[in-house]
Amino acid sequence: MAATAQAQPNIALVKYWGKRDTRLNLPVTGSLSITLDALWTRTRIEFDASLRHDELRLNGKEDPATLARASACLDLLRRRAGTTQRARIDTRNNFPTAAGLASSASGFAALVVAADAALGLTLDRRTLSMLARQGSGSAARSLFGGFVSMAAGQRDDGADAVAQPLLGAAAWPLAVVVAVTSDRRKHVGSGAGMERSRRTSPFYPAWVDSAAADLAAAQRAVQARDFAALAELSEHNCLKMHAVMQSSRPPLLYWNGATVDCMQRIRALREDAGEQVFFTVDAGAQVKAVCTPDAAPRVAAALAELPGVAQVLSSRLGEGARRLDDSEAP
């Protein structure tokens, strides 16, 4: 009753920021993301009848907050398997945790795939996406590779709030350059942040009202491989989400000075140097530059020279969460 799985983070181009149900993590709006390949979470899980509690080590260290969320998600799979056995979970990220690099997305996607295999459930991808969503809303998207769209759904039980693949990673090969400007954990997590925005931002209703049009336009741009359209739409949607964050009370200001410098540099690369590149920023200070693979080394070099950029990571688009051989356990 042991299995290992790997999942990669995904970066939303049309963002999820707001829940219609906080218990099931049901999003108010749909979203659209790309799954990375160079950044990953690897998780080994072993169910053991002699354990009295679940145990979790993240990057070799016990982590009570992550353990509580993982246990709640595992309960959903245990219930389906008709077992109450506790588990030992060993998980590792090859990138900074909880700093706006979507570690919860890859974390919960890897967890449900590993637990499904360890318990012999063989659930379908749609069901795994639904279960991962209950761990973290964005994790539903990391079950799939390439371009992924996530439905808001309408049902109260969330059965239709699942992700689905839109376009494979190889069908439109893009690259992502991540400028890491801080490796500190964010001061307000996404879940708490979006609830604050829902309750207090005067811009929140406009954010929700304009989401379906953004999603439809982004889906069209992806299907047509229209880089310029996707660039314009993604930057607009990102800055609109940050306007909602920043107009919340108290304000959610996830950026630092280097975050703004990176966004300005990326715009200059596109508008002055003609590079095919655009930015997006999540609930953290890191900047993700989405670009064509040939532009990636130039984008990485331009961001690396900015003061305050501690590290630059480059990735292509990758596959969805999958089981690994146990020899690749973290």
Rg for the chain, CA atoms, rounded: 19
Applying CB under 6 A, among 4, 15, 78, 97 the residue interacting with ligand DP6 is: 15
Q: Which stretch binds ligand DP6 (CB under 6 A): 57-65, 134-142, 151-159, 164-172?
A: 134-142
| CB closer to ligand DP6 out of 4 and 31 | 31
CB 115 within 8 A of CB 77: yes
Q: Which stretch binds ligand DP6 (CB under 6 A): 10-18, 38-46, 54-62, 209-217?
A: 10-18
Element (H, E) at 288: strand 287-291
Element (H, E) at 4: strand 2-7
- Binding letters toward ligand DP6, positions 99-118, x by CB under 6 A: -----x--------------
What are 112's strand-pairing partners?
none
Whole-number minimum distance, CB 282 to ligand DP6, in Å? Answer: 4
Single-letter residue type at 139 = A
303 binds ligand DP6 (CB under 6 A): no
Closest among 34, 15, 41 to 96, alpha carbons compared: 41
Distances (CA, A) of 59 to 11, 89, 113, 170: 22, 11, 19, 31
Binders of ligand DP6 in range 281-300 (CB under 6 A)? 282-283
- Give the 3-state secondary structure of 126-187: HHHHHHHHHHCHHHHHHHCCCEEEECCCCCCCCCCCCEEEEECCCCCCCEEEEEECCCCCCC
- Binding letters toward ligand DP6, positions 265-284, x by CB under 6 A: -----------------xx-
Closest among 249, 239, 33, 57 to 136, alpha carbons compared: 33
Q: Which stretch binds ligand DP6 (CB under 6 A): 47-55, 133-141, 178-186, 201-209?
A: 133-141
Applying CB under 6 A, among 30, 96, 107, 137 the residue interacting with ligand DP6 is: 137
Separation of alpha carbons 48 and 118, rounded Å: 11
Beta-carbon neighbour count of residue 202 at 10 Å? 10
Q: Which stretch binds ligand DP6 (CB under 6 A): 43-51, 71-79, 132-140, 263-271?
A: 132-140
Q: Which stretch binds ligand DP6 (CB under 6 A): 13-21, 85-93, 180-188, 308-316?
A: 13-21
| CB closer to ligand DP6 out of 47 and 95 | 95
4 binds ligand DP6 (CB under 6 A): no
31 binds ligand DP6 (CB under 6 A): yes
Separation of alpha carbons 315 and 8, rounded Å: 11
Binders of ligand DP6 in range 164-203 (CB under 6 A)? 190-191
Applying CB under 6 A, among 5, 12, 109, 302 the residue interacting with ligand DP6 is: 12
Whole-number minimum distance, CB 87 to ligand DP6, in Å? Answer: 21
Separation of alpha carbons 94 and 303, rounded Å: 21
Chain residues that interact with ligand DP6, rule: CB under 6 A: 12, 15-17, 25, 31, 104, 136-138, 190-191, 282-283
